[in-house]
Amino acid sequence: MKKAVLITGAAGFLGSHLCDYFLLKNYKVIGIDNLITGNLKNLSHLESNNNFEFRKIDITYDFKIDESLDFILHFASPASPIDYLKIPLETLRVGSLGTENILKIALKNNARILIASTSEVYGDPLEHPQNEEYCGNVDPVGPRGVYDEAKRFQEALTTAYHTYHGLDIRIARIFNTYGSRMRINDGRAIPAFMGQVLRGESLTVFGDGSQTRSFCYINDMIEGIYKLLHSKYSKPMNLGNPEEITLINFAKEIIALGGKNNKILFKPLPVNDPIKRKPDITKAINILNWEPKVSRKKGLENTLNYFRKLSLAELNKKEHNFTLHI
């Protein structure tokens, strides 16, 4: 009998790729999403798959899953600043109320649950690179605090369920990830830069571009998440690519990749925007025998090819309409 997995945020970037991966691994997959930031287009290729079922559910309200579950992957949350700055209350609720509802379902089913935490729990880090023992430098009332603190609370609540109820948990601290099915207008560096390249616009770099990021390709990340789920490690674990690059150099890479002579436009650095971001993945290497394999060049080529296939209307869509879903 196939094992069953519930994936929250299933119509999102990471969630939809997780659905694909678990179906390939011969699981029965139930995907749920409230579609605030997710898009059913990301799951349209699964409509005829008898091992997949999608349900539109807002997990911040009480809901039931009648089927028996073996695993739960909790990936429901806005994940880009442009999103969680516009829907801050929804971001806090899904990290708190939504997480507890999912934890209750895991407890009822005696299911192992993996939660998607984030490198943002480290805030604007004073230690570099960031390992799992670093407690972070977060401003709880800053503009980014709604996401950072929602994820920190999510980790604390999940750990409490493990400590007091014996729930089998995994915590993935996910660093910057990219690939197909990212929303072109979600405001993060890669879709923003690629959209600007394809539209022939100047690339927007905030500050002087000296801030760093470390980008992990989606295929590598999904494999890391799968390995963590099936490990015996219940404490937080960093998953990401430690290859670090400044955003100014990254913008130049994407301009070169696009084959156009786009200019770079500098704008003021947003409040609390992290200056450095690089994961220490020693634990993932030693415990999971995992580390990223796809080069940044190959991953960016694949991602740009995905964005090239968007319609003109999709490519030029600058704003996501949250009011359709709230």
Residue 289 lies in a domain: no
Backbone phi, psi, residue 20, to 5°:
-55, -45
Residue 286 lies in a domain: no
Residue 148 lies in a domain: yes
CATH code, domain carrying 316: 3.90.25.10
Q: What is the mean pLDDT of residues 93-106?
A: 98
Residue 83 lies in a domain: yes
Q: What is the mean pLDDT of residues 216-222?
A: 98
Q: What is the pLDDT of residue 325?
A: 53
Whether residues 10 and 148 fall in one domain: yes
Whether residues 132 and 248 fall in one domain: no
Whether residues 87 and 118 fall in one domain: yes
End-to-end CA distance of the chain: 38
| Percentage of the residues of the chain whose pLDDT score is greater than 70 | 98
pLDDT confidence tier of residue 259, bands split at 50, 70 and 90:
confident
As for how many domains the chain has, the answer is: 2
Q: Look at 61-65, 167-171, 267-271 and tell me which has the smallest mean pLDDT.
A: 267-271
Residue 281 lies in a domain: no
- Give the domain extent around 225: 4-178+216-239
d(CA 96, CA 79): 15
3-state secondary structure the chain: CCCEEEEECCCCHHHHHHHHHHHHCCCEEEEEECCCCCCHHHHHHHCCCCCEEEEECCCCCCCCCCCCCCEEEECCCCCCHHHHCCCHHHHHHHHHHHHHHHHHHHHHHCCEEEEEEEHHHHECCCCCCECCCCCCECCCCCCCHHHHHHHHHHHHHHHHHHHHHCCCEEEEEECCEECCCCCCCCCCHHHHHHHHHHHCCCEEEECCCCCEEECEEHHHHHHHHHHHHCCCCCCEEEECCCCEEEHHHHHHHHHHHHCCCCCEEEECCCCCCCCCCCECCHHHHHHHCCCCCCCHHHHHHHHHHHHHCCCHHHHCCCCCCHHHCC
pLDDT confidence tier of residue 81, bands split at 50, 70 and 90:
confident
Q: What is the mean pLDDT of residues 64-68?
A: 96
pLDDT in tens, 7-39: 999 999 999 999 999 999 999 999 999 999 999
Whether residues 145 and 248 fall in one domain: no
Whether residues 12 and 161 fall in one domain: yes
Whether residues 158 and 250 fall in one domain: no
Enumerate the active-site residues. Answer: 147
Whether residues 226 and 299 fall in one domain: no
User: Average per-residue pLDDT in the chain?
Assistant: 95
Q: Is the pLDDT reported for residue 183 higher than 80?
A: yes
Whether residues 151 and 265 fall in one domain: no
Whether residues 94 and 193 fall in one domain: no
pLDDT in tens, 124-137: 999 999 999 999 99
CATH code, domain carrying 228: 3.40.50.720
Residue 164 lies in a domain: yes
Residue 95 lies in a domain: yes
Whether residues 65 and 37 fall in one domain: yes
Whether residues 148 and 206 fall in one domain: no
Pick the residue with more confidence: 11 or 185?
11
Residue 249 lies in a domain: yes
pLDDT in tens, 39-61: 999 999 999 999 999 999 999 99
Whether residues 113 and 252 fall in one domain: no
Q: What is the pLDDT of residue 323?
A: 56
Q: What is the mean pLDDT of residues 163-188?
A: 96
